[in-house]
Amino acid sequence: MPTDGSAASAALLPARWFDGRQSQPRRVLVALHPGRRGPALHLHALDRPSEAPRVWPHAAVGWPEAWSARHAQRRVTLDLGDDGSIEIDDVQAWHAAYAAAGGRIGVAQRLQTRWTLLLAGVLVAAVALTLFYRYGTPWAAAQMARFVPLEWEVAIAQRVMQQFDDGMLRPSKLPADRQAALRERFATLVAAQPAALQRYRHYQPRLVLEFRSGMPPNAFALPGGTIVMTDALVDMATRRGLGDDAVVGVLAHEIGHVVHRHGMRILVEQGVLNIGLGMALGDVSGVVATGSTLLTGLAYSRQHEREADCHALALLRHTALPTAPMAQLLRAMAQEPHIGRRAERTTGRPAEHAASQPQPAPAPKPAQARTPSTWETWLSTHPETLERADMLERGHAPHCQR
């Protein structure tokens, strides 16, 4: 029996030591002593009582799982790595000695033995992931976008346009003088943009307006400054008698997407989410994807649309242009999302030609804006079109800085 002072200060527990060198286990006494990072294991071999005890620091031992009074273990096993393992039959005495030596049950083991803690941990993790997705990822993307070179954005935009032109888009059928007139209004709007509306300092993309057909009324902005407007959108504004002020309002909105770098922020957000999911699921093989592929399949978020709307309001106010025509055009798009394509299909002529001979049309029923519930508002990532139209018609919104 060991008689050193250190052993006398801790309980000695009978155990079996499978050292991997003998076919039979060796009878030993085990003691636990407090250490800086947790209990240290002291082993006293009964077949060699004169030898000093062998000591393993806390980090060198594979400690058993936590003890549960409802599901008591038959025995505990300590993993010593290359030195084999130790089995102890008196489970309750072992855990008492472990606690007396300063041992603490880890979070993972607490979750394994207490379902209430496990449920609480799952709920906390779900809330944290939701908040990170909703707020953390967009904030991080907005900051990281500052460091993306403009040349990268332009290269991505060129690939995206190539994909669109090879797919759903077709060359514009608007007359050359009509395109030139709209580009002149666009250039005037860009030139009048005040420096105070710049979201990122030293970010000066070359804003370019392109026209395409083959899609319903729409306009979209690509990273690097390319803005695409469909013939059907110009046609809709003409037939509704809204004039070019409505089209210019849409262009101001798309300029806001470019200035705030929303396209690149989408790519960064998706990249962060893909990497996070890959790490969580243990599979990172699918996180590498081209930016152009991501961009063609993603939509702007609620925050992005609000920022672009606020940018349009400020820019139109700065240039003394009305915001109501843009709001009316949004309502028209919500009521007849496929009017541009339908006009070309029914007349067999380009949409602008059909618009050149306007026909009296029955006035559409006014769309009734539905107030979304709290849950719909919080969970939705994209604002309703009618809600945005109301804001633009008023010329201001609570979330826009005056």
Closest by CA to 355, choosing from 345, 365, 340, is 340
Question: Which comes out higher in pLDDT, residue 231 or 92?
Answer: 231
**With 90 as the cut, is the pLDDT of residue 254 above it?**
yes
Task: Calculate the alpha carbon distances from 305 to 229, 261, 287, 299 in Å.
Answer: 17, 12, 26, 10
Q: How far apart are CA 180 and CA 187, in angstroms?
A: 10
Contacts of 212 (CB under 8 A, 6+ apart): 164, 165, 169, 170, 171, 172, 228, 229, 230, 231
The position carrying tokens 């009296």 is 360
| Burial bucket for residue 219 (CB in 10 Å: 0-12, 13-18, 19+) | buried
Domains defined along the chain, listed by start: 5-105 (2.30.29.30), 148-358+376-394 (no CATH)
Q: What pLDDT is recorded for position 191? A: 94
pLDDT bracket for residue 395 (50, 70, 90)? confident
The pLDDT, as a whole number, for residue 384 is: 72
pLDDT band at residue 339 using 50, 70 and 90 as cut-offs: very low
Tens digits of residue pLDDT in 191-249: 999 988 888 888 899 999 999 999 999 999 999 999 999 999 999 999 999 989 999 99
Q: Quick one: pLDDT at residue 109? A: 64
Determine the distance from the C-alpha atom of residue 52 to the mean position of all C-alpha atoms in its chain, rounded to a whole number.
58
pLDDT cut 70: percent of the chain above it? 73
Would you state the pLDDT for residue 66?
66
Q: What is the pLDDT of residue 335?
A: 78
276 CB neighbour count, 10 Å cutoff: 15
Give residue for tokens 């809330």.
Answer: 127
DSSP-based helix, strand, coil % in the chain, nearest 5 = 50, 10, 35
CB 63 within 8 A of CB 78: yes
pLDDT of 279 reads 54
Most confident of 83-87, 101-105, 283-287, 364-368: 83-87
How far is it, in rounded angstroms, from Cα 123 to Cα 108? 15
At residue 246, φ and ψ (nearest 5 deg) are -65, -45
- 272: nearest Cα among 138, 380, 159: 138
Higher pLDDT, 11 or 293: 11
Q: In the predicted model, is pLDDT for residue 350 greater than 60?
A: no
Q: Comparing 82-86, 172-176, 383-387, which segment has the lowest mean pLDDT?
A: 383-387
pLDDT of residue 374 exceeding 50: no
Q: Which two tokens stand for residue 126?
A: 């779900």
Long-range contacts of 287-290 (CB under 8 A, 24+ apart): 290/159
- Provide the mean pLDDT of the chain: 78
Q: Which two tokens stand for residue 137?
A: 């990822």
pLDDT given at position 249:
95
C-alpha separations of 259 from 110, 135, 146 in Å? 50, 21, 12
Q: For residue range 157-191, what is the model confidence (pLDDT) as tens digits?
A: 899 899 999 988 999 999 999 999 999 999 999 99
Q: Are 211 and 174 in contact (CB under 8 A)?
A: yes
pLDDT class of 364 with cuts at 50, 70, 90 = very low
In the chain, the percentage of residues whose pLDDT exceeds 90 is 38
- pLDDT tens-digit readout, 296-335: 445 567 788 889 999 999 999 999 999 999 999 988 888 7
What order do you get walking across the sheet with 208-213 strand by strand?
170-171, 208-213, 226-230, 219-221
Beta strands per DSSP E along 22-121: 26-33, 40-45, 54-56, 76-79, 85-88
Residue 259 neighbours by CB under 8 Å, 6+ apart: 193, 197, 198, 199, 200, 203, 311
Q: Alpha-carbon distance 203 to 322, whole Å?
A: 28
Residue 345 has what pLDDT?
A: 36
